[in-house]
Amino acid sequence: MIDHILTLLIFFPALAAMLGFVVTKDSMRAYGIAVAFIEFVLSLWLWYAYDPMISGMQFMESMPLIPAFGINYLLGVDGISLFIIILSTFFTLIGIASLTETRRLKDLIITLLFLEMTMVGVFAALDAIVFYVFWELSLVPMLYIIGAWGGPLRIYASIKFFLYTFTGSLVMLVGMLFMAYFYYQATGQWSFSILEWYRLILPENFQLWLFAAFFLGFAIKVPMFPFHTWLPYAHGQAPTIGSVILAAILLKMGTYAFVRFSLPLFPDASVFFMFPIAIIAIIMIIYTAMVAYAQEDIKQVVAYSSVSHMGVIILGTFALNVEGVSGSVFLMLAHGVVSGALFLLVGVIYDRRHTKMMSEFGGLASVMPRYATIFGIMMMASVGLPLTINFVGEFLCLLGFYKQSHMLTLTAGVAIIVGAIYMLSAYKKMFFGAVTNEKNKNLKDLNRTEYLGLIPLVIVAIWLGVYPKPVLEPINNSVESVIQLMHDKAQSPEAKARIPDLSGKNEIIPMQEAH
Amino acid sequence: MFEAIAFYLFAALTIVMFTITVMTSQALYAITAMAAGMIFISAFFFILGADFLGAIQIIVYTGAVMALYAFGMMFFDTTRDVVEKRTNPQIVFVLGILAAVMVVAIFVAPIVSNNIQALYPIQEGVGNSQAVGMVLFTKYLVPFELAAVMLLVAMIGGIILAGKKMDKSLTLMAEEEITTMDDSFEPQAGGH
Amino acid sequence: MELYLYIALFAPLVGSLYASLFGGSPKSQHVGIVASGLLFTSFVSSALLLSYVMGGHTVHVELMTWMETGDLYIPFGFVVDQVSVVMMMVVTIVSTVVHIYSIGYMDHDKGFNRFFSWLSAFVFSMMVLVMSDNFAGLFIGWEGVGLCSWGLIGFWYQKESATWAANEAFIMNRIADLGMLIGIFLIYWNTGSLQYDVVFSEIGNLPLVVTTWIGIFLFIGAMGKSAQFPLHTWLADAMEGPTPVSALIHAATMVTAGVYLVVRANPIYDLIPNVGIFIASLGAFVALFAASMALVNRDMKRIIAYSTLSQLGYMFVAAGLGAYWVALFHLMAHAFFKALLFLGAGNVMHAMHDELDPFKMGGLRKVMKGTFIMMTLASVALAGIYPFAGFFSKDLILEVGFVEHHYVIYTVLLLTAGLTAFYSFRLVALIFHGEERYKLFGIHPHEAYKFMLVAMSPLLLLAIIAGSFKMTYYQLVTSLLPDTQYHVHGEMTYWIMTIGTQLFVIAAIVFAYKKYSNWNSVPDGSSKLENSFGYKLLSNQYYIPKFYEEVFSKPYLELSRIAWKQFDLKIVDATVDSIANAIYKTGENTRDIQNGNLSTMLRWMVIGLVVLVSLALAFTVGYNAVGA
Amino acid sequence: MEITLTHYLVLSTILFAIGLIGVMRRKNLLMLFFATEILLNATNIAFAAISYYIGDLSGQMFAFFIIAIAASEVAIGLGLLIVWYKRTGKIDLDQMNSMRG
């Protein structure tokens, strides 16, 4: 069974979702939690069985789909994808467990389980076409979640979300086809396997074009400035569960794909585009932090803060050294946990007051002290306080990029200032001051269901902040092999210089022999 | 010399006839002019040594097609003119001529650059009909048979379409109409 | 000894967690007692460690790995050496006192348990800060104390001013933290490690320019925490927090973290004397600058806060001039008497029902004898009168300035010493002497609980006798810090200087007493002095907060609004939408092609034919042209 | 005066243009059919001429098949036309707009 655990992880939720149609409405919630829990346990088993010392792919499965074009059902995990898969199953569990939605609960849970399938599929796929299929499929459940359970502008928001990301992905698909074609030209065989692609050294000008094609698809998903405007709408209109999954997992697809595709496939192009992308990332960080500061709606603050943090992740990714890339992968997890928790927290107050405007609140700390405490912890994690999960990632990202550029890192570091500004001012508006609004006087503090969702997140946020090693170590090993691969493949002297050579450092098992 | 005179004469006649066909508002004039034009065209075929084609042209077009049109027209009220609102006739002319020039340019291109080769050269000492027959029943046998089947299909199609009970079109009817039609028409259909 | 180290470190954390368990429930006396007890345990462990360290040993432990990736390796490592043990002693003594004091001070507060939770958490962070054996660990504590400071300044979160001040403090500190972070990055990429011992042994091999930048960035971090100009405004506003907090965090411990950093990083600063001069100059400037603002202020706590700021300036002068042990010594002495001063002020505040204007007090010595004595003695110590603690430490700094030939700095510090004496005794005179002006406001002051006074007494004792530890202390820390003795050349000069300073200070005290001890009215802002330019300038803190407000805060908010409403919605998003709209409109417009009219369709067909054929022609011609 | 291929092609062009104009101009469906016949004949001339001038029978073959197609087209087309006329009583092109998009 362990040999096919990835297939199991992908299709178990889908199968369970199909069966979900025959489950009665009343027991649907319990059913959903049970399925998500089993899935989560399976993913933990994956972690348990995973050998952190091996940097390459593990639990690989392969089955030909269209042999003539080298399209295979190819799965595998390494340290980079392992934890994002666990994060996906974890958040699906948390999301379903803390679900407060009452409208068409059954449909919602079925949609969520399908979404879980696509998420795990994206992170486990090692074949570009399989990856692409899951990547696109993930849009559909999200479209339903926003479009069916969202706010008043839900149709606009969901269509914008769908078309925007879809457009980007199409360009990416063209890039993938070209990549496969180049592979065919070079070797005389068709292949869509990423691992096979890794072995291909492309001329630099090809790399630049392909990088750009992939970049568009990923950048919209991340979303990078100036492609970010779908996100506030999507978050603003999505129900709590939609925002949580969107922020925690779906955005990570973009940054994950950067690490999985762009870096190892196009090392020279990565170096070439390093500074332009870093500048975009810095604009993202500072600009969206400012926009977040100006928001009146607490959910929008969190939404824009997501964009800002994604900027740091991008920066870390394009540091192109082990510290930076490990940091960015770690920050993906960290941001998933923290922003997911923040969206859950916003959902809590929205359930009670049916508004998200900060001006409606004030003084909540005295009415809902426990809520305020957990919100405070998560806010501080988001701000990047040491010993919380975010700090580890942010520190490593900035540290890594500092190797490449002093000035840009200094500018990007403003993140820790502007991040504090919008978060603290939002917190002040919501929780501090006297209770002025009559409607807030008798709000109930957190209930059992909400604790169920939030407490694990708090624990994870602090645990991985204090002791990130169990996660950081496998990530580090896999990232090292990616960096080494990039160094070996790099052609231009600048790229050789920018990407560190680790071969002399320690024994690593290369992911694939280059050349 | 004779060839040139014949060419210009028939060219002028054909053009005039077809122009009448296109421009006149009287259906009767149009059909008559066209029939004449078709016969004049067959003259070109004779000039070009395609005797068989010329004969076919006269038989098929003037004999069959035109007769078909003539019969067809009997169904319609030819005296009543179709009101022809013309919008921007200039565009029509410009477009028509432009397209024609282009098509010809395409045709001419390979000849001008002289890189076309004769696949089935005309054999000396063999009559045109014989030559045509030889090519038609060797190289073009399959297309020829297909053309035959096509004609058969067309014939059957024409008969069925023009036949009775075809004044109802299922595609153009709403669903309820179809269901009600089944009830009312089936006994009658059985009676035939 | 490792056990004691862990006890000293984690006892406050346990206290904090224990208190937070009851965070939401109403006041429980046991929370305060347990937290104080645990801190006392921490103090005892620290004392044991001190005696151990005095024997010439150090304790160095590595608890576990924190971050490890690539070449980066950061453990949770702790070191108890001569420097950190001094800081540990200071922190645990003051915080134990403050904890016990707070049991009384926060007696009637709803957030009693929450208060202890935050306070103990602060002590834990501070312990991490001082005990850590690497820069990353220092940064953990650094941010941790910032967080606790935020929580404690904004402790009374219903008050708008308190939460505002809390956010201001946090954000200002963050600005400095960025500098610190960059300093850490520089250290890592140049030395390959963040461990103190590795860094300090490597630092000599680096190019001077790198070392200079490291020094500058680390000092920017120190400037924020220690509230040096221009990041000083938060400290005065931080007085919104409960008074014990001011005593512990904003006088004795956290604000001195910057000084500790410079002292700790002395191998770096030793290499870059130019930066040192800058630090010293800035310190001297801040000393005078802060003292001048304290002269006219009418808020008791703010006056003490400015005095803290001023004393931090002294410490930076010493540290900048390379006299690290002197800086640390003043840090220690200052912690005792300033905490005492604050706690005394807390008593007064309680007595006066949170009235802070000393002009509305007067004559309180009759009802608050204990507090009166303590505050007077603390002020004497602050002024630097022999044989109190302040004399030994402050005088030493003056000597350092003099010996190092920085006469401008020396003069500034000397002047500041006079000002310090003046405003301290202005405060004492206004509060405790003269007419009982509080009667006008119908307040009936009372002395604080006995045990609070008892709790304060160790600080009083230390404020008096700390100076006598000088030689022991000196021998202790100079095994780690540069051992430089500062002796004024010629005994004559030395005595003239010392006695002259003493006389100058005493004169300032006498002047303050004369002017204020018989004060009999509450100023209403109409007197000539109050309308003079100088007075307004000083009482408005040189208009710097206003300047920040107008130049940074408001434009930032405005710019953010513009970025959102004008740029994000109207340009970025509108561009996206307009692309979508353009496609939609094209669809609407070209819909006429499909109007079902065969004639039109035919026409379009011909157009299409023309276009296609001409394209084919063009390509053929083009291809032939190229081919030819 | 030699008659060359160009002459025939020019003639073919003229006839084709006439046919196209007819296609675009006519609203009467029957007339439209006439115009298509003209188009087909125009190409036939071109085919026959090319066949003659390069001495290849393929052109004639094509013309032959075109005639066959034209015949079928007329048969089917007229049949449809009659059906349409029976249903609507009109053979006006502008009235046929059930394909409106």
Per-residue pLDDT of C351-375, as tens digits, reads 888 888 888 887 888 888 888 889 8
Residue B76 has pLDDT above 90, yes or no: no
The more confidently predicted of residues A513 and C32 is C32
Q: Compute the distance between CA of residue C62 and CA of residue C79 in angstroms, rounded to an integer.
A: 9
Distance from the first to the final alpha carbon of chain D: 55
Distance from CA of D23 to the nearest CA of C (A): 7
- pLDDT (0 to 100) of residue A382: 92
Q: Are A509 and A117 in contact (CB under 8 A)?
A: no
A503 within a domain of the structure (yes/no) = no
- pLDDT (0 to 100) of residue B176: 64
- pLDDT (0 to 100) of residue A246: 92
Q: What is the mean pLDDT of residues C402-424?
A: 89
- pLDDT (0 to 100) of residue A77: 92
**Is B12 in CB contact (< 8 Å) with chain D?**
no
Residue of D nearest to C610 (CA): D20
Residue C21 has pLDDT above 60, yes or no: yes
Rounded percentage of chain B residues whose pLDDT exceeds 70: 67
| Pick from C591, C596, C602: CB nearest D98 | C596
Q: Are C586 and B75 in contact (CB under 8 A)?
A: no
Q: Are C147 and C125 in contact (CB under 8 A)?
A: yes
Report the domain count for chain A: 1
Residue of C nearest to B85 (CA): C599
- For chain C, how long is the longest CA-to-CA vector? 118
Cβ-defined contacts of B17-22 (< 8 Å, 24+): B18/D15, B18/D18, B18/D19, B18/D38, B19/D18, B21/D22, B21/D31, B21/D34, B21/D35, B21/D38, B22/D18, B22/D19, B22/D21, B22/D22, B22/D25, B22/D26, B22/D31, B22/D34, B22/D35, B22/D38
Touching C (3+ Cβ pairs <8 A), the chains are A, B, D
- pLDDT (0 to 100) of residue D100: 64
A267 within a domain of the structure (yes/no) = yes
Token pair for C329 = 């010594």
**Owning domain of residue D22:** 7-93
Give D-chain residues touching C591 at CB under 8 angstroms. Answer: 101
**How far apart, in Å, are the Cα atoms of A158 and each of A151, A302, B104, C243, C599?**
10, 19, 53, 53, 40
Range with the lowest mean pLDDT among B72-81, B96-105, C52-61, C511-520? B72-81
Residue of A nearest to C558 (CA): A294
- pLDDT (0 to 100) of residue B123: 63
**Is C615 in CB contact (< 8 Å) with chain B?**
no
Q: Which helix (H) or strand (E) holds C59?
A: strand C59-69
Flag if C561 and A163 touch (Cβ within 8 Å). no
- Mutation to test the C interface, candidates A387, A390, A435, A475, most C Cβ within 10 Å: A387
- pLDDT (0 to 100) of residue B184: 45
Flag if D96 and C606 touch (Cβ within 8 Å). no
ipTM over 0.85: no
D101 within a domain of the structure (yes/no) = no
- Mutation to test the D interface, candidates B46, B91, B104, most D Cβ within 10 Å: B104
- pLDDT (0 to 100) of residue C187: 92
**Is C616 in CB contact (< 8 Å) with chain B?**
yes
**Is B44 in CB contact (< 8 Å) with chain D?**
yes
Flag if B136 and D64 touch (Cβ within 8 Å). yes
| Pick from C591, C597, C606: CB nearest D94 | C597
Most confident of the following: C308-322, C381-395, C430-444, D85-99: C308-322
Residue B29 has pLDDT above 80, yes or no: yes
A343-356 tens-digit pLDDT:
999 999 998 888 88
Give C-chain residues touching B99 at CB under 8 angstroms. Answer: 606, 609-610, 613
D34 within a domain of the structure (yes/no) = yes
**Is B100 in CB contact (< 8 Å) with chain D?**
yes
Q: How many residues are recorded in chain C?
A: 628
Q: What is the mean pLDDT of residues C447-460?
A: 87
Rounded percentage of chain D residues whose pLDDT exceeds 90: 6
Q: Which helix (H) or strand (E) holds C68?
A: strand C59-69
D28 within a domain of the structure (yes/no) = yes
Q: Are A266 and A206 in contact (CB under 8 A)?
A: no
Flag if A321 and C576 touch (Cβ within 8 Å). no
Ranges of chain A whose pLDDT falls below 50? 507-515
Token pair for C446 = 């009372």
Rounded mean pLDDT of chain D?
Answer: 83
A219 within a domain of the structure (yes/no) = yes
**Is B172 in CB contact (< 8 Å) with chain C?**
no
- pLDDT (0 to 100) of residue C220: 92
Per-residue pLDDT band for C181 (boundaries 50, 70, 90) equals very high
Flag if C68 and A472 touch (Cβ within 8 Å). yes
Residue B187 has pLDDT above 50, yes or no: no
A355 within a domain of the structure (yes/no) = yes
| Pick from B92, B102, B109: CB nearest C610 | B102
Secondary structure (3-state) at C107 = coil
Q: Compute the distance between CA of residue C301 and CA of residue C237 in angstroms, rounded to an integer.
A: 10
**Is C553 in CB contact (< 8 Å) with chain B?**
no
Does A have 3 or more CB contacts under 8 Å with D?
A: no
D30 within a domain of the structure (yes/no) = yes
**Neighbour-count burial of B86, counting CB atoms closer than 10 A to its CB (0-12 exposed, 13-18 middle, 19+ buried):** exposed
D1 within a domain of the structure (yes/no) = no
Distance from CA of A246 to the nearest CA of C (A): 20
Range with the lowest mean pLDDT among A252-261, C259-268, C278-287, D2-11? D2-11
| Pick from D24, D94, D99: CB nearest C606 | D24
- pLDDT (0 to 100) of residue A256: 94
Residue of C nearest to B92 (CA): C603
- Tell me the pTM: 0.84
Does D have 3 or more CB contacts under 8 Å with C?
A: yes
The CATH number of the domain holding residue D87 is 1.10.287.3510
- pLDDT (0 to 100) of residue B114: 59
Report the domain count for chain D: 1
Q: What is the mean pLDDT of residues B131-157?
A: 87
Flag if C607 and B95 touch (Cβ within 8 Å). yes
- Mutation to test the A interface, candidates C9, C69, C557, most A Cβ within 10 Å: C69
Secondary structure (3-state) at A66 = strand
Rounded mean pLDDT of chain C?
Answer: 87
**Is C620 in CB contact (< 8 Å) with chain B?**
yes
**Owning domain of residue A171:** 2-498
Interface of D with C (CB under 8 A): 20, 23-24, 27, 93-94, 96-101
Residue of B nearest to C614 (CA): B102
Residue C179 has pLDDT above 60, yes or no: yes
Flag if D61 and B136 touch (Cβ within 8 Å). yes
| Pick from A229, A366, A505: CB nearest C576 | A229
Q: How many other C-beta atoms are found inside a 10 Å radius of the C-beta of residue C584?
A: 11
Give D-chain residues touching C597 at CB under 8 angstroms. Answer: 93-94, 96-97
Distance from the first to the final alpha carbon of chain C: 92
| Pick from B76, B85, B111: CB nearest D91 | B76
Touching B (3+ Cβ pairs <8 A), the chains are C, D
